Structure 1
Amino acid sequence: MNRFLHFSSAGARRAWLTPLLLILAWMPGLALAHPHGWIDIRVRLVVDEAGHLEALHQAWRMDPFYSLVLIEELSRTEGGLEAGLDRLGGEIRGNLAPFDFFTEVRMGDDELSLGDVTEYTVMERNGRVEFVFLLPLEEPQALGEQTLEYQVFDPTYYLEVVHEAEGDTPPEEALTVGGELSCTTRILPADPDPELVAEAAMLDINDEAEPGLGRHFAETGVVTCE
């Protein structure tokens, strides 16, 4: 699994540019400090007593080196690390909101509309920066009628987004379902076309991938409930 993907230059701020990078614009030089990286995610489906999916609770862990750079920089800002992490959370939320937090959710053949994130936090955990947030659906959906699938990906593929895993196998904790429903979960690995793999491999640090490239390298979470 290739986890060394390119960040874009801080100067190339096109409308579609990876919004996670833009959160660092107020910290001079930091956006260029680490030219590649990844995010490990955990997802928990929030289900009400009636068996309706209400939200996806997500935790994103930045890769260790990028986390180290962030922690060092934030520790030197006004208020220290804790205040810096609070500011960072607001910046991440604001910049990812127009992109639905890199998340697409489908029920059968229908893509579900997502709501506004109001609950979020950023913390340091075991030396890594973690962004935790609750992404609600615009309208709750009954589980058990159709298979639910989701993908989380950076459209430009400057950052690789994968479920937390030991080796190549995500643990059960990487995708869980709340509530009392009996559900089975799977995380399907990406299976990109070899031509797209070659295209991604040829991207230089200053190259700009076409929006949508990241979709082809995204894992898919699959949930089926009785």
Structure 2
Amino acid sequence: MKHALCALVLGLVAAPLGAHPHIFVDTALRFEVNAAREVTGVTVTWTYDDFFTLLILEDYGLDPDGDSTLTKAELDTLFGFDLIEWPPGFEGDLYVYSYGEKIEMPRPKPTGIAVENGLITATHYREIPAVPVEAVEILQYDPTYYVAYDVSQGVTVTDPDCTAKITEPDQAAAQEAVDQELNGGSMEDIFDEMRVGIHFSDSITISCAPPSN
């Protein structure tokens, strides 16, 4: 992402001091469930906030007239921009657990890009090694809390007999966790160890009605 990516990486280093997000992403998640009632993949849609959208468009030299209308060639240039350069250890800010064990997933593949109402919306697909629906918990968060994710665009499931439940974080408890991290720690400890994003994450589970005979 050129300069915008540099700003993001620098922000990831500085984020623990204030533990406040600087990039805001509205999210939609669509989970694939097979006939055996196993989760096998997820389509992730990220809509970036207006300021980060502006940074990216300027960084790529797109939309010079500022009308938020991109040509097909410009959209092709932007396609997959947020999947190109990932910092070491970055897991895509999406974590899938089965029976409490974290599931390793391959890197995502870009599937869509759009700029609507002045905001970039990027879509990608991630395969999930088949895990039983009833054992799955999904969290989406940035460990450093530099990026704040909000599942405001909803969570859907390909099987019409299955539904997703979103449990929102306890904001007071999350802030208390931040305060505890900050209390008594040295500046070096804060930079090296503070990872509070998980406390601000929505928790998503999936349930399915019994198959009809």
TM-score by length of 1: 0.66
Cα distance change of structure 1 residues 10 and 180 upon mapping to structure 2, 3 Å threshold = closer
Q: Verify: 1:110 aligned to 2:101, yes or no.
A: yes
The offset of 1:82, in angstroms, is: 4.2
The answer to whether the 8 A contact 1:123-1:130 is kept is yes
Whether the 8 Å contact between 1:156 and 1:210 is mirrored in structure 2 is no
Q: Does 1:223 align with 2:206?
A: yes
**C-alpha contact (below 8 Å) 1:157/1:209 kept by paired residues:** no
Please say which of residues 105-114 and 54-63 is displaced more in the overlay.
Answer: 105-114
* Aligned pair partner of 1:185 in 165, 176, 179: 165
Post-superposition offset of 1:90: 3.2
Q: 2:76 aligns with which of 83, 86, 97?
A: 86
Q: Deviations over 1:158-210 (max 9, x none)?
A: 1211111xxxxxxxx5111111433352232244151505868xxxxxx9584
Q: CA deviation at 1:12?
A: 6.3
Structure 2 regions of 5+ residues with no counterpart? Answer: 15-20, 65-69, 183-189
Q: Which residue of 2 aligns with 1:140?
A: 130
Q: Deviations over 1:67-119 (max 9, x none)?
A: 2443454224xxx6544443343331122485221111112212112123224
Structure 1 residues 60-209: aligned runs within 5 Å? 60-71=46-57, 73-76=61-64, 82-96=72-86, 99-137=90-128, 139-144=129-134, 146=135, 148-164=136-152, 174-190=154-170, 191-197=173-179
Distance 2:38 2:85 in 1: 29
Residues 125-152 of structure 1 deviation map (CA, whole Å, 9 limit, x = unaligned): 2321011111111x212224x2x21111
1:9 CA drift (Å)? 6.9
Question: Sequence identity of aligned pairs in percent?
Answer: 20
Letter in 1 for 2:130: P
CA contact (8 A) 2:80 2:122 kept: no
Q: Separation in 1 of the partners of 2:111 and 2:101? A: 27
Which residue matches 1:213? Answer: 196
Pick the structure with greater CA Rg: 2
1:43-81 CA-partner distances (Å, limit 9, x unpaired): 1111123322111111111112332443454224xxx65
Give the 3 Å change call, closer, same or farther, for CA 126–49 of structure 1 in structure 2: farther
Taking structure 2 as the reference length, the TM-score comes to 0.69
- Secondary structure (helix, strand or coil) at the match of 1:113 reads coil
Is the partner of 1:10 in helix, strand or coil? helix
Check whether the contact 1:156–1:209 (CA below 8 A) recurs between aligned residues: no
Q: How many angstroms apart in 1 are the aligned matches of 2:169 and 2:120?
A: 25
Secondary structure at the aligned position of 1:123 is classed as strand
* RMSD across aligned positions (CA): 3.5
Which whole-Å CA distance do the structure 2 matches of 1:156 and 1:89 have between them? 26
After TM superposition, the runs of 4+ consecutive aligned structure 1 residues lying more than 6 A away are none
Residue 55 (str. 1) matches residue 37 (str. 2) = no
